[in-house]
Amino acid sequence: MARVALVTGGSRGIGAAISKALKAQGCTVAATYAGNDAAAAAFTDETGIKTYKWNAADYDASKAGIAQVEADLGPIDIVVANAGITRDAPFHKMTPEQWREVIDTNLTGVFNTIHPVWPGMRERKFGRIVVISSINGQKGQFGQVNYAATKAGDLGIVKSLAQEGARFGITANAVCPGYIATEMVMAVPEKVREAIIGQIPTGRLGEPEEIARCVAFLVADDAGFVNGSTISANGAQFFA
Ligand code: CAA
């Protein structure tokens, strides 16, 4: 039986590359998105991957959406918690709203995505969880107190879940992308982006497929002893 994989934020950017890689690996994939209907429809047309619309920051919506995915495709074996947002500002200018939005999506959203599938994974004695963290959760980043806090928190989630899930055949791992050529990074002011690229020894932004490659490795059936780990893919910009 094909493994069923859920990828949040799976119709654009890094998430879209992950959805495609898992499909190529033989998984039945459900990709979620929060708002961009046109991009989701185009993604399904291109890939044949089913998309589902809900807000990862909303627990009830996540639970209901996950129940729908399982009714359509079967029990979820693989979860990739990828959905994330930025609301960058230096700390003295950061508003409580900017803080909350990022915490709700990038940190609570990870809880909301994993919590509803966890009991089923425990019962079936198999699960693969990957959380997409960030280089900026490892090193911090000027202008990203909110984002860096969530991405560091994601690493705590993974290391704790790894310990709780191990005896049930569940692994939980993190991938920390560096700066990848996606809309999120392209939204950074050009001068700032150029300066960042100057700090990457590989001399370029990463490609979404280079992150998807890491995820495909971690979710494979025979990756069961890789548990609680963090794969950094950042062009040698930072060593955790
Ligand atoms: N380091 C040190 N000082 C910096 C700085 C930096 N990286 N960036 C700005 N400053 C300084 C400026 O030079 C300026 O100093 P002066 O007042 O002495 O001139 C001061 O900070 C304020 O700068 P701005 O007026 O430009 O501040 P701003 O309100 O316009 O906001 C910012 C700046 C939004 C933080 C902007 O610098 C920015 O967008 N930085 C990029 C943050 C970033 O890397 N985001 C990652 C997005 S991609 C992502 O998140 C994916 C992933 O996982 C990697």
SS (H, E, C) the chain: CCCEEEECCCCCHHHHHHHHHHHHCCCEEEEEECCCHHHHHHHHHHHCCEEEECCCCCHHHHHHHHHHHHHHHCCCCEEEECCCCCCCCCHHHCCHHHHHHHHHHHHHHHHHHHCCCHHHHHHHCCEEEEEECCHHHHHCCCCCHHHHHHHHHHHHHHHHHHHHHHHHCEEEEEEEECCECCHHHHCCCHHHHHHHHHCCCCCCCECHHHHHHHHHHHHCHHHCCCCCCEEEECCCCCCC
Lowest model confidence (mean pLDDT) among 59-68, 189-198, 225-234: 189-198
Instruction: Write the pLDDT tens digit of every residue in 112-145.
Output: 999 999 999 999 999 999 999 999 999 999 999 9
Active site residues: 147
Structure tokens at 132: 């997409």
| Chain mean pLDDT for the chain | 97
Q: What is the pLDDT of residue 101?
A: 98
Instruction: Write the pLDDT tens digit of every residue in 141-182.
Output: 999 999 999 999 999 999 999 999 999 999 999 999 999 999
What's the pTM?
Answer: 0.96
* pLDDT for 224 beyond 90: yes
* pLDDT bucket at 96, cuts 50 / 70 / 90: very high
Architecture of the structural domain at 4-179+208-225: 3-Layer(aba) Sandwich (3.40)
Distance CA 23, CA 161 (A): 25
Cα maximum dimension of the chain: 52
Q: The tokens 């996540």 sit on which residue?
A: 62
Distant-in-sequence, close-in-space partners of 236: CB < 8 Å, separation ≥ 6 = 200, 201, 202
Distance CA 232, CA 228 (A): 13
Distance CA 18, CA 22 (A): 6
Distance CA 233, CA 120 (A): 31
Mean pLDDT of 195-216: 97
Q: What is the pLDDT of residue 128?
A: 98
Q: What is the pLDDT of residue 25?
A: 96
Ligand 1 neighbour 192 (Cβ under 6 A): yes
Mutate to test the pocket of ligand 1, among 92, 176, 188 (most ligand atoms within 8 A of CB): 188
Q: What is the pLDDT of residue 76?
A: 98
Q: What is the pLDDT of residue 236?
A: 98
Distance CA 117, CA 112 (A): 9
Question: Among 64, 75, 58, 95, which residue's Cα sits nearest to residue 6?
Answer: 75
Q: The tokens 């609680």 sit on which residue?
A: 228
- Inter-residue contact 52 to 58 (CB < 8 Å): no
- Inter-residue contact 120 to 143 (CB < 8 Å): no
Distance CA 101, CA 99 (A): 6
Ligand 1 neighbour 141 (Cβ under 6 A): yes
Instruction: Write the pLDDT tens digit of every residue in 21-45.
Output: 999 999 999 999 999 899 999 999 9
Structure tokens at 145: 């107190």
Q: What is the pLDDT of residue 89?
A: 97
CA of 72 to the centre of ligand 1 (A): 44
CA of 145 to the centre of ligand 1 (A): 11
Ligand 1 neighbour 88 (Cβ under 6 A): yes
